[in-house]
Amino acid sequence: MRCLLFFILSFPLLVSAQLNKDSLMIKKISYEIMTNGRAYDLLRELTKNIGGRLAGSPEQHNAAIWGKINMEAFQPDKVFFQPCKTPNWKRGGKDYAAIVGINGKATNKKLEVMALGNSLSSKGLMEAEVIVVSDFNELEARKNEVKGKIVYFHSILHPSIIETGKAYEDAYIYRSDGPSRAAKYGAIGVMIHSLSTAPDNEPQTGVMEYNDSFPKIPAIALGPTDAKNLFEQAKKSMLRVQMETFGYFLPDADENNVVAELTGSEFPNEIITIGGHLDSWDVNEGAHDDGTGVVHTMEVLRAFKSLNYHPKRTIRFVLFANEENGGMGGLKYAELAKLNKEKHILALESDDGGFTPRAIGIGCTAAQLKKFQTWTPLLKPYGTEVIAGGGGADISPLSKDFKNIIQTSLLVDSQRYFDLHHAKTDVFENVNKRELHLGAVNIAAFIYLVDQYGVNF
Ligand SMILES: [Zn+2]
């Protein structure tokens, strides 16, 4: 009886002592990163000294060497390369498009454009009437009008959708599948509205995928202003457009995932992964996409080492070689995890930009989520809460072989990301130091809690 009474009385004390210990540790993590953090300086090096890092480029290759050297300097237990093949697409020249005829009358209105990633060369300047469609339903309804024309998809990110990532997902299919869907009905080229939220005229590139059953026609994204004007004009008048692209593929390149590890002291076989991707598009510095995820990852390692934190579980810090045009980095990481019979319990990806952190998104069951949400009071002072829905392209291949792995991501304020994403404006100057470092604080705090309690607490 006394024993039980003691237990009942002391239980809340034990819990609150634990909470105290954790909140003190997280405070230390925050102090360390906000005061001595190196993420911003590392991002400057990556974006300014190395620059855009399309898979297969010398810059991408150098970025992996840079990542390895810098993580070695933080003295983790291990740092190693995971060699991996990546696609090797080249833009090949200065993409071009113009409106050259309105209702049969010659004009010359040059358009701001960028070829989509993977788009092949137009093999010279092509010219045709443009047919504008709002969506695939309209394409299907008007399929008999498409032959010999250039199809324009009005793939806007709808401004009414508050979560911009959701708006991007809705429009994404026009970029990825639009070219082959139009080629099926005889189109000779495709234009899309850039998947952009910006009130500017910066075109945004991004990956598209050819369906091998149809001709591989060239595809370009228009700057938002030019796209909207073309869409409105084409509804009233017959427009002729020209376009020229230069894309081609070289044989697959030899690249590397860069992996650093803090080996667990109690449960070394339970692996927690944090990562971002090293590659970017060729047209910018890949600052928010995904330089910030790369330096978040490196900063968490640096902070843990500098606080002399010895994790119970093994923590892997991964700079993935290729996400943008093939996702080969994540596939290689998952393939080796399976081959080496590893046990992966949780992975976190940072690939939404380095903006103000809002949440740790978790992909798990409702019952598990409830447990993770008991950590929200510990994270709240640093700006995040635990919410449903997490994961990312680099860590998702792990789910194929590790059915119970929990997929998580750092969710940040999403209002500005698609202003810059895949545009030439995704540069270092558009990253805020405090927002960036606060992201690393929240990742480190969450990963610390996962390390302490595992995922089955
Ligand atoms: Zn990305």
Residue 229: pLDDT above 50? yes
d(CA 223, CA 423): 9
Q: Which of the 8 DSSP states describes residue 142?
A: T
SS3 call for 119: coil
3-class SS at 173? helix
| pLDDT score for 1 | 46
Distance 393 CA to ligand 1 centre (A): 8
Question: Would you place residue 2 in the very low, low, confident or very high pLDDT band (cuts 50, 70, 90)?
Answer: very low
pLDDT at residue number 18: 79
The Å distance, Cα 405 to ligand 1 centre, comes to 21
Q: What is the pLDDT of residues 14-56, one digit of tens each?
A: 667 777 999 999 999 999 999 999 999 999 999 999 999 999 9
pLDDT in tens, 384-414: 999 999 999 999 999 999 999 999 999 999 9
pLDDT on residue 345 = 97
Ligand 1 center–CA 208 separation, angstroms = 15
Mean pLDDT, all residues of the chain: 96
Whether the pLDDT of residue 132 is over 60: the answer is yes
Task: Enumerate the H helices of 122-212 as residue ranges.
Answer: 136-141, 164-183
Confidence (pLDDT) at 14: 62
- Ranges of H-type helices in 83-223: 136-141, 164-183
Task: Please give the Cα distance from 171 to 161 (Å, whole number).
Answer: 12
Best CA proximity match to 384, nearest among 303, 456, 438, 318 = 438
Bridge partner list, 412: 357
What confidence tens digit (pLDDT) does each residue in 284-324 have?
A: 999 999 999 999 999 999 999 999 999 999 999 999 999 99
Question: For the domain 30-88+251-453, what is the CATH code?
Answer: 3.40.630.10
pLDDT at position 19? 79
Centre of ligand 1 to C-alpha 286, Å, is: 8
Q: Which residues pair with 132 in a beta bridge?
A: 152
Residue 457: pLDDT band by 50, 70, 90 thresholds? confident
> pLDDT tens digits, residue range 313-329?
999 999 999 999 999 99
pLDDT band (50, 70, 90) for residue 435: very high
Residues 92-247, CATH architecture: 3-Layer(bba) Sandwich (3.50)
Residue (of 54, 52, 80) closest to 67 by Cα position: 80
CB 71, CB 79: distance < 8 Å: yes
User: What's the CA gap between 277 and 268, in Å, rounded?
Assistant: 25
When pLDDT is cut at 50, 70 and 90, the band that residue 264 belongs to is: very high
d(CA 257, CA 84): 7
In the three-class reduction of DSSP (H, G, I as helix; E, B as strand; rest coil), residue 230 is classed as: helix
pLDDT exceeds 70 at position 13? no
Instruction: Express each pLDDT in 339-379 by its tens digit.
Output: 999 999 999 999 999 999 999 999 999 999 999 999 999 99
- What residues does each domain of the chain span? 30-88+251-453, 92-247
The rounded Å distance from CA 47 to ligand 1 centre is 14
pTM score > 0.85 for this model?
A: yes
**Measured in angstroms, how far is the CA atom of residue 320 from the centroid of ligand 1?**
10
Q: How far is the CA of 127 from the centre of ligand 1 (A)?
A: 34
pLDDT band at 194 (very low <50, low <70, confident <90, very high): very high
SS3 state of residue 421? coil
179: left (phi over 0), alpha (psi -120 to 50) or beta: alpha
Distance 416 CA to ligand 1 centre (A): 14
- Ligand 1 centroid to Cα of residue 278, in Å, is 9
CA 146 to centroid of ligand 1, rounded, Å: 33
